[in-house]
Structure 1
C-alpha cells in the first residue's frame, strides 16, 4: 500500500525576532518572502493530509474587502470585495460558509469557503454590528444597532424571517444550548436576554413559531460589550467597558432540566453580582472548560482572572500596554493577549499564574484566532494592515514566524477548515 501523500507548511525563515528592539520594517519584510519557499518541508510543522485546506478570513473596514489567507502554505490567497465597512466575521460550524457583517451597507455577505468567493448578500437593517449562528448552522442572529433590532436569518433560504425590537444592540451571543441570546447594549449600558424559539426541521414551516422574544433586561453595565457564556449555558459574563466591572448573570434553565428540579430559582434570569476588575474591561476570554474568565483591562495594562463558579477575582496581573483581546488554548493552560499599545502578544501561563513571554507583532494587534490544530496563532494588526503569524509550539517556545498582508483597517478574523462533504 502506498503511503498517504502529505503536505507541509511553509518552511520557517530565520526569525528577526531576536531582540525586543526590532523595527517593524524588518518584520514587514517577512511578508515579501519569495514564494519559492512555499512547500519546503520543515520538521517543526505538523504534516497535513493531501488535499487538506484551511484558511483565515480577515475583514478590512477601510477597503470594504475580506483578505483570504492560506494557512497550509502561509500565503495570501485572494482578496474578496464585500459590502461597505465590514466589521465582523463568523464561520458556520457545519457548512463551508463565512458570514461578513457589512455595517455601513446594512447587509451580510456570504462567502463559499470551498470556492472562496462571495455567493450571496443578505439585506438586514441599519448598522449591523455582529452575527451569531446556532450549532445546527441553519439560523443566524444579527444585531442591527442603527435600527434597534435583531434580525433572525434563515441560512438555508438566505433571507430574514423575523425582526425583533432590541435597544441599540451590540455583539449578541447565543448560548450553547440555543435557548438564550444575550445582547449587550454599549450605548444604553444594559443587557437583554432573549428566549430563542425552537428551530424547525429544514423545509418545515410553522406559522406558530416565535423565533425570538425578550425574556429579561438588566441595567447598570456602562459600555456593556464583550460577552462570554459558560459551556453548560448556566451563566453569562458581560464586560462593562466604560467602568471597571463585569456583570455576572444567571441564565434561566429549562423547567424540566435537572438543575431546575434541584433548585427552582434557576429557571429565572437574574443578576448574580457585579465583579470588580481593572479599568476599561474591553474583552473577555473564556477557558474552554468554563472554569475561568480572563478580562483584558485596557487602561490598567492588566488582566483579571474570574473564577466562574464563585464569581470572584482570583488575581490581577500586568500583561502589556493596552490589552484589547485574549484567547485561551484548548488545553486550558495558556492565555495569549494582544497588547495594542506596545505591539506585542503577552503569553500568560494559567497554571503558573504569570506572564512567561512577550512576542513582537505588527502595529496595533487586536483580534486573535488559532489555526485548527493551534500550531499557529494569528493576530490582526489593525494599524499596519497585516496579520502576524505566531508559532505556538517550537523548541524555543512561541515565536513570530511571518507577517501576511491584509487590507486597510483590518478588524476581525476567523479560521475555517474546508470540508468537501455536501452542504447540510
Structure 2
C-alpha cells in the first residue's frame, strides 16, 4: 500500500477558508480607498554561512527580509499556493516552515540525516525531502490534521541530493549522487530506478510534464528522461520516448549543478559551478543554444512559472545573477558578506491570482465562438484560454490563446462548422496560474455556403428548411413534380434560386 492510500487527503479547515475570504475583502477595501496592488513573486535563498533565508522581491530584486532558520540551510521550495516556503537545514536534520504572509518561521519539522533537496507537491498535499545522510526521502503532509508531520519515509539510492515532482503529482524524482541513478517514486505504486550520468545532482521537470532534466556533475552532462506515457504516439511502435528512460544526453559546462526549465522560453538553464557559466539548452533540439557568464561558483537556479527572468545563486562571491531571458542581459545583486548561498530546488514562488468566473458563450457562427467572463483578480498578467471537442472524453484541453490583463472577452476563430467545443479559462501572474473557471460548451453553426435552403409554401415567409449539401445528389434524381407535390415552391443553393 502506498503512502497516499495510507494517509488519505483531508479537507482544509474552515478557518483557512475564512482567512482567504477576509484577505480578499481587505484587498477590495484597499483598492476602493485608492490603493494599488501588484502581483508579487519572491525568491527564497538559503544562506548556509549565516543560517538565514534571504527573501528577494523579483519585481525589483529588492531584499525584503532576512529570516533566521536552522543550521546549514541548503534547499528551498515554495508551496503551489504561495502560502509557505520550506527550507532544509542540513546540519540539524530539520525543515523550517515559513509563513509567507509575514515571512516568519511557523514550524520546524524533524526529518532524516543531512536533508538537502526539497520539493512541494503541485497538488498541495505533500512536501518531499531528500536526506543525503541516510539514503531516504521524508514525506511531509501539509494537510490540516497532519500538517507538517512526517507521514512516510522512503528508501532510495545512495546519497540522495535533489528532488522534483512532476506537474501531475504522479512521480517524484530523486537524484542519487552516490550511485549515478535517479529514483522514480510513483505516488500510487512502487519505486523505480533510472541510470543516468556520473554524479547526478540537480533535477527539474518541465511544466508540461513530458521530460525530466538531470545534471551530472562528474561528466559535465545533462540527462533527459521521458516521463512515462506522456510522449508516445499511439500509432508509433517506438518506445524510446516512454517508461521513465533516458532519451538524450546533452554536454554542458564544467561541474553542472542546478537546473531549471523556463516555460515561456522553451529552454533549460544549467548552472555550471566549475566554469562560472550557465548553459542554455533549447528544448526543441536538445542542444546548447548559448552560454552565459555569471558569478563565482553558480549553484542553485530557478525561474518563476510565467516570468521572463532566471535567478542563479553564486556561492563563492555571494551574489545572485538575474538573467533576463528576453535578451540574456544580467543584473547582479548581493546576498551579503559571509552568507555562502546555495539554493538547491525551485526556490521562487508567490500567490496565484483569483480565478475568473461567469464564463459564457455570447455568440456562435459557422467557424467561430465568442466568449466572455468576469475578471476577479487585481494582479493577473492575463488569461489562458483552453479548448477541446466536447464529445471526446479522452481529448485533453489545449491552450488556444493568451490575452492580456483586464481583458474579458475573446473570439475563437477557424473552427469547424456543426461541431461542439468546450472551453475553460484561468488567470495567470508571474508566479503561477489560478484555478480554472467552470467550463462551457456550444455548437458552431452550419455553414450556409454548403447547404440547400427550401421554402415549403407559396412564399418565403412560409416554413423554411436547411438541407445539408451532401444530399444534393439525391435531389437531382428527385422528380420536380414530386417536389412540387410536397409543397416545395423554391430552392436556394448558394446564390442560385430554383422555382416550381
TM-score by length of 1: 0.63
Q: What residue in structure 2 maps to residue 119 of structure 1?
A: 106
In 2, the alpha carbon distance for the partners of 1:137 and 1:4 equals 32
Match of 2:51 among 46, 52, 64: 64
CA separation of 1:262 and 1:186: change in aligned 2, threshold 3 A: same
In 2, the alpha carbon distance for the partners of 1:317 and 1:267 equals 32
Is residue 246 from structure 1 mapped to residue 236 from structure 2 by the alignment? no
Per-residue deviation, residues 87-113 of structure 1 (Å, max 9, x unmatched) = 222221126222221222222222233
Q: What residue in structure 1 maps to residue 200 of structure 2?
A: 224
Match of 1:133 among 96, 117, 120: 120
In 2, the alpha carbon distance for the partners of 1:72 and 1:309 equals 29
CA separation of 1:174 and 1:273: change in aligned 2, threshold 3 A: same
CA separation of 1:109 and 1:361: change in aligned 2, threshold 3 A: closer
In 2, the alpha carbon distance for the partners of 1:290 and 1:132 equals 23
Is residue 102 from structure 1 mapped to residue 89 from structure 2 by the alignment? yes
Is residue 286 from structure 1 mapped to residue 261 from structure 2 by the alignment? yes
8 Å Cα contact 1:231/1:290 also seen in 2 = no
1:388-399 alignment, distance < 5 Å = none
**Farther-moved stretch of structure 1 (233-242 vs 411-420):** 411-420
Q: What residue in structure 1 maps to residue 174 of structure 2?
A: 183
Match of 2:156 among 162, 166, 170: 166
Is residue 4 from structure 1 mapped to residue 32 from structure 2 by the alignment? yes
In 1, the alpha carbon distance for the partners of 2:59 and 2:287 equals 41
8 Å Cα contact 1:275/1:312 also seen in 2 = yes
Q: What residue in structure 1 maps to residue 210 of structure 2?
A: 234
Structure 1 unaligned blocks of 5 or more: 8-46, 198-209, 363-379, 386-407
In 1, the alpha carbon distance for the partners of 2:116 and 2:30 equals 50
In 2, the alpha carbon distance for the partners of 1:259 and 1:417 equals 34
In 2, the alpha carbon distance for the partners of 1:347 and 1:61 equals 20
SS in 1 for 2:133: coil
Q: What residue in structure 1 maps to residue 468 of structure 2?
A: none
In 1, the alpha carbon distance for the partners of 2:277 and 2:54 equals 31
Give, in angstroms, the shift of residue 314 of structure 1. Answer: 3.2
Q: What residue in structure 2 maps to residue 48 of structure 1?
A: 37
SS in 2 for 1:300: coil
Give, in angstroms, the shift of residue 165 of structure 1. Answer: 0.8
In 2, the alpha carbon distance for the partners of 1:312 and 1:2 equals 49
Give, in angstroms, the shift of residue 294 of structure 1. Answer: 2.4
Give, in angstroms, the shift of residue 280 of structure 1. Answer: 1.6
Q: What residue in structure 2 maps to residue 261 of structure 1?
A: 234
Q: What residue in structure 2 maps to residue 89 of structure 1?
A: 76
Give, in angstroms, the shift of residue 164 of structure 1. Answer: 1.2
**Farther-moved stretch of structure 1 (321-330 vs 131-140):** 321-330
Greater C-alpha Rg: 2
Q: What residue in structure 2 maps to residue 390 of structure 1?
A: none
Is residue 304 from structure 1 mapped to residue 332 from structure 2 by the alignment? no
Q: What residue in structure 2 maps to residue 143 of structure 1?
A: 130
Give, in angstroms, the shift of residue 77 of structure 1. Answer: 4.8
In 2, the alpha carbon distance for the partners of 1:125 and 1:64 equals 19
Give, in angstroms, the shift of residue 274 of structure 1. Answer: 1.7
In 2, the alpha carbon distance for the partners of 1:247 and 1:89 equals 23
Give, in angstroms, the shift of residue 239 of structure 1. Answer: 0.9
CA separation of 1:337 and 1:93: change in aligned 2, threshold 3 A: closer
CA separation of 1:234 and 1:60: change in aligned 2, threshold 3 A: same
CA separation of 1:183 and 1:69: change in aligned 2, threshold 3 A: closer
In 2, the alpha carbon distance for the partners of 1:62 and 1:360 equals 20
Give me the CA root mean square deviation: 3.9
Is residue 215 from structure 1 mapped to residue 192 from structure 2 by the alignment? yes
Give, in angstroms, the shift of residue 310 of structure 1. Answer: 2.8
CA separation of 1:110 and 1:250: change in aligned 2, threshold 3 A: same
Q: Which has the higher contact order (CA 8 A, sep 6+)?
A: 1
